[in-house]
Amino acid sequence: MAKKGTLLIVDDNRNILSAVKLLADKIFAKVVTLSSPTTLVSTIIAEKPDVLLLDMNFHTGINTGNEGIFWLREVTGKFPHIKVVLFTAYADIDLAVRAMKEGAVDFIVKPWNNEKLVETLLNAFELSKEKGKKETPKQAKREIPMFWGSSTEMAHIRTVVERVAATDANILITGENGTGKEVLAREIHRLSTRNNKEMIALDMGAIPDSLFESELFGHKKGAFTNAHADRIGKMVAANGSTLFMDEIGNLPLNLQTKMLVALQSRCVVPLGGNTAQDVDIRLITATNRDLFAMAERGDFRQDLLFRINTIHINLPPLRRRTVDIVPLAERFIDHYCEKYNKEPLQLSQDAASKLVAHPFEGNIRELQNIMEKAVIMCDGNCIKPEHMQLYVSHSNVTTQTSTLEDIERKAIADAIDSCGGNLTLVAQLLGITRQTLYNKIKRYGL
């Protein structure tokens, strides 16, 4: 039998690496081994394997399989053409099912049968070489996996998410702008039992006041001017799935009451309609505002807050996750290199140091924008500080003249601070509409 293809084996047991390599050398043209997954991505880029045999656990005493699932997501997200076979010493059927859902093509239990292992690896190789196979809808819509990082706070949040994702508990996500609240919501939905349907997202900060009710509950033809046809609201569209409401603090008080009734009764009445429609949703909400303080002031219904706040997750700002800044930056570099068809780029040590020292007022969203610009501006194979165009705070500017955008950004930020985050007052203070204010807040990452 002619040897073919490249196999990459990742296992922390060197004896297992040697044994499997000895077996695989007979069927693969090239066999590469790694005793740790830390260099997995760079090794894949260099060696271009067809099949990956990936261990599920890499630390003594830990047998949850979470490490293997994490690296499986990394590989299937970045290199969907590689077929992954998972390797574990624990015959856990639930874990096997979970791994298959995440994109693994098969699952091998240690100690293994040589014939079964060879057959499994060959089948995976044949799958990797199939031509013209259409992508399934799930594959076509694969999201970039959630990056948890290695900070203590994110480790705690991950534990909470893994416990509650499969339930229908309503979740409130809080945190500064740009911390990744919607990304976390999508991860929760992906891990939920409702992931066979698309999550419905609704940005309350981008909806004009007059359309709040229609967007949420729908409307009947003729319910108001320009209502020329029936419209299904987001709560009905999310039936059987997850509804993510971003900037929930912007929901007007009169609609908070209707929202509470809809959540309690599990049905909605469209604007201009008389018949209630049943809804079965899992609600995830998010805000950068202090809903608890708003409830004390009477700006947000306390009973609604209790209803949406079964589980509360507060995402930390990036400045408290300095250990994750460089790995996140490298992740964005890989993403934008692929998007703009550029050869893989490295992050220089000087650039990495600059990033770690940067305050990141715009959090992960700011870092993402910085790395996208850097990938575009870099004309070599290494991103340097001059490629990144880091934003400099006005307090540190001495001789440089501010641009109009800088002045506007600072004026809006100062107004938000002086108004205690009340965006209605901010808009009145600045003499602009609330919609224009929302657009500018998003533009400047405030």
List, as own/partner pairs, every contact residues 389-394 make where C-beta atoms lie below 8 angstroms and the sequence separation is at least 24, other chains included.
390/354, 390/358, 391/361, 391/362, 391/366, 393/359, 393/361
What pLDDT, in 10s, does the model give residues 365-387? Answer: 899 989 988 998 888 899 999 89
Taking the C-alpha atoms of residue 423 and residue 287, their distance in angstroms, rounded to an integer, is 13
pLDDT at 405: 62
Asked if 289 and 117 count as a contact pair (C-beta separation under 8 A), the reply is: no
Fold of 321-391: Helicase, Ruva Protein; domain 3 (1.10.8)
Question: Residue type for 252, please?
Answer: P
Strands 267-268 and 277-278: antiparallel
The answer to whether the 6-135 and 152-314 domains have the same CATH topology is yes
Nearest CA to 383 out of 432, 332, 430, 424 is that of 332
Helix (H) or strand (E) holding 52: strand 51-55
Span 271-282, average pLDDT: 89
138 has pLDDT over 50: no
Asked if 186 and 139 count as a contact pair (C-beta separation under 8 A), the reply is: no
Asked if 415 and 426 count as a contact pair (C-beta separation under 8 A), the reply is: yes
Show the tokens assigned to 361: 């007022």
- Name the least confident of 97-106, 171-180, 181-190, 317-326: 97-106
Q: What percent of the chain has pLDDT over 90?
A: 43
- Name the least confident of 76-85, 224-233, 325-334: 224-233
Options 1.10.10.60, 1.10.520.10, 3.90.1150.10, 1.10.3720.10; which CATH number does 399-444 get? 1.10.10.60
Show the tokens assigned to 294: 């708003």
CATH of the domain spanning 6-135: 3.40.50.2300
For the chain, the domains span 6-135, 152-314, 321-391, 399-444
CA distances 73 to 6, 50, 67, 80, 253, Å, are: 20, 16, 10, 10, 41
- Name the least confident of 42-56, 102-116, 134-148: 134-148
CATH of the domain spanning 152-314: 3.40.50.300
Count of H-run helices and E-run strands, the chain:
20, 16
Taking the C-alpha atoms of residue 282 and residue 280, their distance in angstroms, rounded to an integer, is 7
Taking the C-alpha atoms of residue 118 and residue 196, their distance in angstroms, rounded to an integer, is 33
What pLDDT, in 10s, does the model give residues 221-243? Answer: 887 776 777 888 899 999 999 99
